[in-house]
Structure 1
Amino acid sequence: MTSQRKRDAPADDRVAKAARRASDRDAMGREDREPSLAARLGQIGILGWTIVLPTLVCLALGRWLDRLMGTRVFFSAPFLMIGAAIGFWSAWKWMHRQQRRDRD
């Protein structure tokens, strides 16, 4: 009987460790709640405007310069690209700030 008990001890120990890990994960999940649907939709909206607004501002500036200089898309095209790059960079920085804030 003693040898049987020694063989079962590691299996019991693994089961106990697995139960503790599952309990710890469950406790972490309960205290770290998921944001609501409204919060997620708000984040998507902020990201959208963070990308669109600099793009549109730079495009308007490029169109104004094109009209002023009498060119077709000489300024509009590069300013559109620059605005999109600024928007995507801003969105990327905002997402990382949010992720860091959520971790803390």
Structure 2
Amino acid sequence: MTQEPEPERPERLAEAVKQRRERREQWRREGERSIGQNLAMIGALGWTIVTPTLIGVFAGRWLDRTFSSGIFWTLGLLVAGLAIGCALAWQRIYHE
């Protein structure tokens, strides 16, 4: 029993078309981004991911030393920090 995908709502389709037109017009006005701007964005996205990950690692190490729990907190907060960093980077790319 396969379920067919629900057709897109006309409002969502109209919104997507409008957004694409706006982006195309912006591209025509401003042109391509320079290599420097692209490299700056890559660097900012890298730090957006790395910073929460490192905060998670340092907080986890501190908790592990405090409670003598091996690498329990370090591993958990590393994964949590990485997930938060990736989510923040995704949002930044999406809004760009």
TM-score between the two structures when normalised by the length of structure 2: 0.69
Structure 1 segments, 4+ long, off by >6 Å, are: none
CA RMSD across the alignment? 1.4
Aligned length: 71
Structure 1 residues 91, 67: CA separation in 2 closer, same or farther (over 3 Å shift)? same
Unaligned runs of 5+ in 1: 1-27, 99-104
Cα distance in 1 between the residues matched to 2:53 and 2:72: 16
What's 2:46 paired with?
Answer: 48
Unaligned runs of 5+ in 2: 1-24
Structure number with greater Rg is 1
Q: CA deviation at 1:32?
A: 4.1
Q: CA deviation at 1:30?
A: 5.2
In structure 1, the residue corresponding to 2:72 is in which secondary structure? coil
Greater helix fraction, Structure 1 or Structure 2: 1
What's 2:69 paired with?
Answer: 71
TM-score between the two structures when normalised by the length of structure 1: 0.64
Identity of aligned residues (%): 41
